[in-house]
Amino acid sequence: MKIAIFASGNGSNAVKIIEHFKDKSQYQFVVLSNKKDVPVLEKAQKLKIETYTFGRKDFYETENVLDFLKEQKTDFVVLAGFLWLIPENLIKLYPNKIINLHPALLPKYGGKGMFGSRVHEAVIEAKEQESGITIHYVNEKYDDGQVIFQAKCKVTQEDTPESLAQKIHQLEHLYLPEIVEKLVKNW
């Protein structure tokens, strides 16, 4: 089984997923990014994982990314810190086989522009008692697909966006690889 991970930044979640599967040779990975000089690409290459970069035109106006995924015989797609809306042609090719990780408890604090510290700032500003992660299927809208899994953490009065982000990263690293494995075992 081939799993494509789309990421745009540091890549800690991509690495956690790849490491989780390291003793399961039936799973292979490819990492795709819309940015050329991001740590996720270097980390993937150190793990001997093929990488592919693309621009906005490749993603939205051509079939280049789709063709690459077909050439790779990709079975499943994970968005791990990837911020672009997924085009309809990709969703049609992988119905209920594209998942996203969101750093909040959807449906709250989702949608266009709600990513990274913006989410944590909004949660703290609203004086929420808890936050967490949501893993969901991807559809044609931001953070709108069916929820697969959520995990929660407490938000305290002392929390800052940075401290809340650390709590959220712990949940992401713990649960995302497990949920990916559960989902791909069912295909």
Q: Write out the catalytic residue numbers.
A: 102
Burial class for 46, CB neighbours closer than 10 Å (0-12, 13-18, 19+): exposed
The structure tokens 């712990």 sit at 170
65-90 per-residue burial string, b: 16 or more CB within 10 A, e: under 16: bbebbeebebbbbbbbbbeeebbeeb
Helix (H, G, I), strand (E, B) or coil at 69: helix
Please provide the DSSP assignment of 6-57 as one string: E--S--HHHHHHHHHTTT-TT-EEEEEES-SS-HHHHHHHHTT-EEEE--HH
Residue 95: cis peptide before it, omega within 30 degrees of 0: no
Total count of residues recorded for the chain: 187
